[in-house]
Amino acid sequence: MVRISIVLVGSACLFFSAPQQAPPAPAPARGPAPSLVRPMTPTKAPDAAGFLQRWLVLEPIRVVGQLTDSAVQAVVKKEYFSNQFTVIPRDGDRVTVGDESLGWHAIDTVNYNVNLYHFAYALSKPTSNVLFWAVTSVEASSDMSGVRLAIGSNAASVWWLNGQEVIGLYNDRQAVIDDGVSKRLTLKKGPNVIRAAIVNAGGATDFCARFLDRDDTPIKGLVVRLNAGGKDAVDTGSREPR
């Protein structure tokens, strides 16, 4: 996909995209994330293999990059910002973690996976010993039982669906399609919020996610909509000013 100019989000260049506003400030831009683009449509369907390609991703939080079960659980369960387990952020929202202000970015990946290394590198953010939060909202046209959330992540990750923890993957690992798979669960009619915490110790970092039906076939008949924040949010929480 070819975009014709660069939009700056927050303090750094993330995307190739159409110009929408003037750059707010000089940024230590490293160049655009080659696999990520700004969402240009209100909704986005999963790709042909059912992968969810639209996400809100928070700039990385610096953590100790230990990847054992207990270390990852401790890292992701620590509260870094208000309502971190319930908030449905909007593009451009900012939170403060320690003394650092971090922004949420709405992104579409052009691939099956979301390349967090591209994401962080383009923002001149660290890629090692970091924690990424990612959120998306998937709309189902009716209740769907017996489905599974299926993800891959580099490296460890913990995943929640509608507030329930459903997957934990630990130790150093590559993002393999359908590596971590939830037990059978129900997607309810309307929006369903997926929340992920990905911990990377070093090197490449990415994730992928899709839903499988009761026959383990990828589900494509879903709609990803990220404007569910604000008045439509499950829990808007308290936001810091943009």
Partner 1 sequence: MMSRSAAAAAILLLTRPFALDGDIGLHDPSTVIQADGKFYVYATGNGLPFSVSDDGWTWRRAGSVMQAVPGGRPGPDVIARGGNNSWAPDIIRVGDKYYMYYSAPGTQPKAAIGLLVGKTLDPTSPNYKWEDAGPVVWSDGVEDSNAIDPGVFRDPANGTMWLTYGSYFGYIRLVELDPKTGKRLYPERKPVNIAINSEASVMIFREGWYYLLVTHGSCCAGANSSYNIRMGRSRKVAGPFVDNMGVDMLQGGGKLFAGSSGRYIGPGHFGLLDLGDGVQKFSCHYEADLDRGGISVLDIRPLLWRDGWPVAGDNLTAGTYEIESARTGTALEMAVQGAPVGGARGRGGRAGGAGRGEGGPPPPIPAQDPAQVSANWPAGPVDVRMAPYMLQAQQKWAITPVANAGGYPGAPYFKITIAGTDRALAATSEAELVVLPAFTGAPEQLWRLDQLADGTYRIMPKAVPNSSDALALSAVGSSMPTLARFRADSDRQRWILKTP
By CB under 8 A, name the binding residues for partner 1. 68-70, 148, 150, 169-171, 176, 178-184, 212, 216
**Least distance between partner 1 and beta carbon 160 (Å):** 16
Alpha helix (H) residue ranges in the chain: 69-77, 116-122
**Least distance between partner 1 and beta carbon 20 (Å):** 39
Between 69 and 100, whose beta carbon lies closer to partner 1?
69
d(CA 108, CA 15): 10
Between 78 and 184, whose beta carbon lies closer to partner 1?
184
The single-letter code of the amino acid at 25 is A
Between 27 and 71, whose beta carbon lies closer to partner 1?
71
**Least distance between partner 1 and beta carbon 84 (Å):** 24
Between 77 and 184, whose beta carbon lies closer to partner 1?
184
Task: Judge whether 222 and 139 are in contact, CB under 8 Å.
Answer: yes
Burial group, residue 167, by CB count within 10 angstroms (0-12, 13-18, 19+): buried
**Least distance between partner 1 and beta carbon 88 (Å):** 27
